[in-house]
Chain A
Amino acid sequence: MAQAAPNTEKLDEHLLEIVRALHGAVKQGVAHLGEPKIVDGAIVDCEEILDVIMAGDVEAWLSEAVA
């Protein structure tokens, strides 16, 4: 079998957490579409989570995962 690339497992776990957090925020917002405070908060959460992913600082993610 091939040797896995370094941090394959850690990156996978980190991204899975990110995806779950995003889905959680989306579900929260969709479930409360009639309540502006909750839905706005959910959208802010989505923006914050996506900002981290779009920045793509993989080294920082992985070092946090180790810590």
Chain B
Amino acid sequence: MPGGTPTGLRPAPASSWWCPGQIPPTRGTIYPRLTPTRKRFDEPVARRTVQMDAMGQSRPAESSTIFREIGGPHLYVERMLPAAPTKLDQLIVARTAAEEIDHFRKVARVAGDLGTDVTFVLSQPNEKRFVDAFRGIITTWEDNAVFGFLIDRIGRYQLEEFYDCSYLPLQRILPEIVTEELGHIEYGYNKTLELLSKGDEEKERVQNAVDNWYVRALDMFGRSGSARAERYRYWGLKRRTNEQARSDYIKEVNPILTNLGLKIPDPLKGRRYL
């Protein structure tokens, strides 16, 4: 399965795609939080999080993982909505964008209720986005498929970090968002599989897309030994260090790529954050 252990070259079941709202099963190892007490907060810890970001960044809110959600649609809507291979695919691109916009809405509400306005994210050009993978634009269907398969998976990883976190308003919005991200991953996987069935030329194009997104995906976990990630763990907002999450992602994705008959790219080539 694209969301977990690969079981072969079968399309992923679309169970979560049209039926959002369920709490997805927990995947992989559960890492304990650093804070010994599972205190629940309705405000203070998350507020401190925003303030901490503000100390070292010119665009404080954007630098935090939870405020990056609107990035995806700006990458693929312009070219992929008109260029998707079938009418159904066009509609699914629109539906995916709708879900990502809704994720932004929910996270913007959490930030807004804390006094942090993140609306600037809606109007800034792609090249100014904080996450490197969200700069530029997706121009090929292969890139679009692999983006869903590899990059939406990062979204799932980062959001799962907040499961059972100490800030309740954030915890409450997670299950539906993660369920929808699982749908995006499944769709990307199934489209990748579909493309691979079209022969060697198409396989080469898919491999190029994997080479491009794989390295960016690894960078999206951030620097190993990040002090900020450590503080998030201390506050009970996250479970894993950046390097633990990246390592888990590699362990999950590499066998899927191999099962698909694709080469695993050099994990160090072109990396910006080690």
Contact = CB atoms under 8 A, between A and B. Distances in A.
Contacts of A47: 81-82, 94
B115 A3 contact: yes
B102 A30 contact: no
B94 A43 contact: yes
The bracket for how many chain B residues form the interface is 20 to 34
A47 B91 CA distance: 10
A53 interface: yes
Contacts of A66: none
A63 to B, nearest CB: 13
Given A4-B115, A15-B102, A19-B102, A54 B77 contact: yes
B102 A5 contact: no
A20 B84 CA distance: 22
A1 interface: yes
B43 A1 contact: yes
A64 interface: no
20 contacts: A2-B43, A3-B115, A4-B114, A5-B117, A7-B117, A8-B112, A8-B117, A12-B112, A16-B102, A18-B101, A26-B91, A26-B95, A29-B91, A30-B88, A33-B87, A43-B81, A43-B90, A47-B94, A54-B78, A55-B123
Interface of B: 43, 47, 73-74, 77-78, 81-82, 87-88, 90-92, 94-95, 97-98, 101-102, 104-105, 108-109, 111-117, 119, 122-124
